[in-house]
A and B are shown apart, each in its own frame.
Chain A
Amino acid sequence: MTEPNEQQGPRIGKDEWVARHGDNRDRRAGVAGTIEERLRNVPWWAWLALFTGIVCLLPIGFESGYVRRIAFDTVIFMLLALGLNVVVGWGGLLDLGYVAFFGVGAYTYAFLSSDKFDVHLPSILTIPLACVVGGVIGLLVGLPSRRLVGDYLAIVTLFFFQIFLTVTNNGENLFGTDVTGGPNGIINVDPLSLFGRELPVSADGIFNVAYLYVALGAFVVVYVALRLVDRSRTGRAWRSLREDALAAELMGMPVSWLKLMAFAFGAAVAALAGTLVTALNGSVFPQSFEFPLLITIFTMVILGGAGSQAGVVVGAILISVLLEVLREPGDARFLFYTLGLLGLFAAFRLSVRLAVVLGGTLVFGLIAHAVAGSVDDAWTAGAGGDGGRLADWAVHWVIVPADLAAWVTPVSYIGLVSLTLVLTLLRGWTRLALLVPTLYLAAFVWENVMLPKPEPTRFVILGALLVAVMVARPAGLLGEKRVEIV
């Protein structure tokens, strides 16, 4: 037998072609390829350390309490996403009661450290206790659901979520005693106390950055701990259960117990996040744990890539920051047009078609604006929102009437959705031709309908983004491609 060499090529039948699949992979040439290769070899803990370092330095660059508070909220979302990832990403269990565990942690903290029952335990006790309570309740919820999968499990967990909301909302008269304070919640909750010292929630009138560091510390501990579990016997069993529960059971893995463990781990992490939020807010209300929060956390996990720890963290950061940015019309406008351009670049690359679409839309807009302006000045007399030069430019391109007739909003909105749907059915030049007015209509809807109402707009944009990412990368941004049927 001679050693196979480059001239002979891999021998078929000995699986050598597959053996060399690494060489066959597309690899970018030159510096970009080398950098890509190097980046791939950076160990996970280095990324984690780098990320933690950057967040630690954040308060130096940003003096504003607002930015620091957003950073804190984002870290909380990262924790929540990590916890949900255990249940959904690794265990493959659809847990729609997840937010209730967040609430359980929050209320447990409030019970143990507030004037409510006049108990004031130090945080070093309260936080672990709340995690244990969360984990145990997770176990209890899992108990009746351990034989359920898919939609059945989802319904049972959703029911538990509803029970939690009912109990907290009506808890001011629970069998005659006031437990949760009902809709008024629990106020005057102690701030965190570490090593006998209380951590004030605000220093010099702004958000105390120590809370950000505490949350970040919790995040790092949880991230590392969960990663170690993932790379162990338990993690393998969870993934086996996700892949094929029956096969896992028949290979000696106690599937019911593993499901309960996944529930308990996820619940404990959610409870931890709950304690930190309550300590900072100094209060807890049932309204903080409603359905939109559940959807938001699920979006983070799915967008980032369920099953990938780094993925769900990226998802949490993206969604959390995005939802904040979209509150500010100027930033939102910038984001809208940037995302639009990036989307076009991603779809067409640098090609003639891109030039045609961009140029076409630009010209289309200028003509439409000029025509509308010459018919009636009022049609283009709208001020547009505030937001600097981009706003000035936008009102000279997009038709922004001074007074928007009532019928314009629904017609343009429905028109945009219909045009987008029609676009997906078309191919070739007809598609490009229709894309131009669709883009312009999108800009029109954005400037006239969506920008003036930031609150619903945020979630519409979020939904659209999720749809776009899911079409492009069904497994999420950093999720590994998974094969369901072979």
Chain B
Amino acid sequence: MAGTRLLELRGVSMAFGGLSVIDGLDLHVDEDEILSVIGPNGAGKTTLFNLVTGVYEPTGGDIVFAGESIKGLEPHKITQRGIARTFQTLRLFLNMSVRENVMAAAYGHTKAGAFRSILRTPGQRREEREIRAAAEQRLAFFGERLTGYRWDQPAYSLSYANRRRLEIARATATNARMLLLDEPAAGMNPKETHEITELIAKLRDEGGFTILVIEHDMHVVEGISDRVVALDHGVKIAEGSFEQVATDPRVVEAYLGTGAAERK
């Protein structure tokens, strides 16, 4: 573990009108780390993702990625700097082919404009070949599931689990350094959940991605996390190893209600 901070949130706050969703949150993700964010529904986990990726601009505090502030940047600029995400409710380009979904995500780090495309310049053709090869390689990361005949199938024909995989492949194709995975195991059966656990570790070890993940399945969280952060009502209530966080009275209370920890 490199130990250098890749992403750092400094006192980040977010309020919608008078409703404070995130309040003075300090959080950091080290390079090559897998950090899990847990917390009950409504704790502000997805809002945290939306803040980091620029969907919302924080009402207070600062977000620093790779040493530079990314607060207030447009989402596509943030992605081009190296943060890509998946969505809790899948948002694939359903009527495009599997391969095109992944190729489209290469937009940010490729150059050929419309006029070069019309002229089909050698540089444009080379770039197009590279995008295609890279996309197929990204898809091959998931074994046979998204390769071969699947390349040309529309994304809507995929099963739920494969759609989740395709979303991850699409996020990696932006050439990001850091992946934000929003509930990657949601709606998967136990076998698929187990696969996802292995896959996330593989994304870090072989893909070299730093990963910030929101997950409700505690087996997955236990299996992948270097560190866990628990949120409740937009405030960090616990941070540390999985064991530390899972046994923290405040976390138990947030999930099970007041007094649950004492009765236990």
- From residue 201 to 235 of chain B, which have CB atoms closer than 8 A to chain A? none
Given A246-B55, A250-B76, A252-B76 in contact, is the A236-B96 Cβ separation under 8 Å? Answer: yes
Decide: A233 near B131, CB < 8 A? Known: A246-B55, A248-B104.
yes
Chain B's closest residue to A15 (CB) is B145
Interface residues of A in 237-289 (CB under 8 A from B): 237, 239-240, 243-244, 246-255, 261, 265
Stretch of B17-25, B28-36, B116-124, B251-259 that contacts chain A: B116-124
Q: Mark B94-117, 1 if CB is under 8 A from A, else 0.
A: 111000100111111110111001
Please, how many angstroms separate the alpha-carbon atoms of A121 and B76 in the complex? 43
Surface stretch bound by A, among B1-9, B39-47, B78-86: B78-86
Give A251 to B91 CA distance when docked, in angstroms. 11
Q: What is the chain A residue whose CB lies nearest that of B160?
A: A486
Q: Which residues of A contact B (CB under 8 A)?
A: 15, 18-19, 225, 228-229, 231-237, 239-240, 243-244, 246-255, 261, 265, 480, 482-484, 486
Q: Which A residues are in CB contact (< 8 Å) with B184?
A: none
- Residues 163-220 (chain B) with a chain A CB within 8 angstroms: 170-171, 174
Known: A231-B117, A249-B75, A486-B156. 4 other contacts (CB 8 A): A234-B113, A246-B55, A253-B104, A483-B154
Smallest Cβ-Cβ distance to A221: which chain B residue: B118
Q: Cβ of A251 and Cβ of B104 under 8 Å apart? A: yes
Contact assessment for A229 and B174 in the assembled complex, using a CB-CB cutoff below 8 Å: no
Given known pairs A225-B118, A253-B108, the reply for A247 and B87 (CB within 8 Å) is yes
Residues of A within 8 A of B128 (CB): 232-233
Q: List residues of chain B with CB within 8 A of the CB of A247.
A: 87, 91-93
| B residues near A255, Cβ cutoff 8 Å | 76
B53 sits at the interface (CB 8 A): yes
Q: A229-B117, A265-B114 are in contact. Are A250 and B79 (CB under 8 A)?
A: yes
Question: Whole-angstrom distance between the alpha carbons of A152 and B8 in the complex?
Answer: 38
With A18-B157, A240-B96 as given contacts, are A252 and B108 in contact (CB-CB < 8 Å)?
Answer: yes
- Cα distance A93–B49 when bound, in Å? 28
- Shortest beta-carbon distance from B227 to chain A in Å: 25
Q: Does B68 contact A (CB under 8 A)?
A: no
Knowing A249-B75, A253-B107, the reply to whether A232 touches B95 (Cβ < 8 A) is no
- For residue B149, CB closer than 8 A to chain A, the reply is yes
Q: Complex Cα distance A251/B145, Å?
A: 22
Q: Are B93 and A243 in contact (CB under 8 A)?
A: yes
A236 touches B100 (CB 8 A): yes
Chain B: minimal CB distance from A133 (Å):
17
Of A19, A229, A250, A484, the contact of B118 (CB 8 Å cutoff): A229
